[in-house]
Amino acid sequence: MIQQSLVRINGKVAILGQKVEKTDDVQVANRLKKLKESFQYVLFNKPRGVVSHNPQEGEQSVEDVYKSKVRLSPIGRLDKDSNGLMILTNDGRIIDKLLNPKYDHEKEYNVRVDKDLKPSFQTKMERGVDIEGYVTKPCKVKATGAKTFSIILTEGKKHQIRRMTASLGYQVKKLKRVRFGPIRLFGVEEGEGRPLYTDEKFALLKLAGINDDK
């Protein structure tokens, strides 16, 4: 900060190695506060048909649907045929800490498949499913209807839920993400977004191991 001329002693720019007495007036530019205030966190309800990453020609992206004055990036992916909660942000500090599977952050989905669930479906899904040589981590599954269930994952392989259900003989018809860690999908219509409420923002940052309330 001294090298960047952000510190002043008695009104003059400080230099490296300069001594400070108790009676000196030291001022530090509050760049960190400005940086924090520039971060944005948005809860976006992605519709089906919208691409979260790398849209091809003719495809509609998240940026096309949710207009923002600053560039916001989705935390994680949600495939084109799925809908629901996405968190958009320009805070690069939290991306890896929220997405890396070693941190075991929960993501919850509501799913509808093409036929009635067998009694063994829940047990097989929860203990892990072999998808092309990779066995998924244990997860939580709860049947919510004859053809519907909720699932809580702590990892995010590409098309993971679709591949898991396909390996057990089912085809996903609808897939909606309803929760990412402490953030739940509410208060926003499909195709729209809103800034995270203060308690949501602090909960998200806490999940990422960042304390920005000071």
List helix spans (H) across 168-207. 198-207
DSSP class of residue 101?
A: G
Which of 25, 64, 79, 212 is labelled catalytic? 79
CB 80 within 8 A of CB 49: yes
Distances (CA, A) of 155 to 18, 77, 86, 160: 50, 12, 16, 9
DSSP class of residue 159?
A: T
Which residues, other chains included, contact 151 with Cβ-Cβ below 8 Å and sequence gap of 6+?
108, 109, 111, 125, 139, 140, 141, 142, 161
Q: How far apart are CA 177 and CA 184, in angstroms?
A: 9
Q: What angle do CA 113, 116, 120 make, to 5 degrees?
A: 100
79 is known as an active-site residue: yes
Q: How far apart are CA 153 and CA 162, in angstroms?
A: 13
**Catalytic positions, written as ranges:** 79
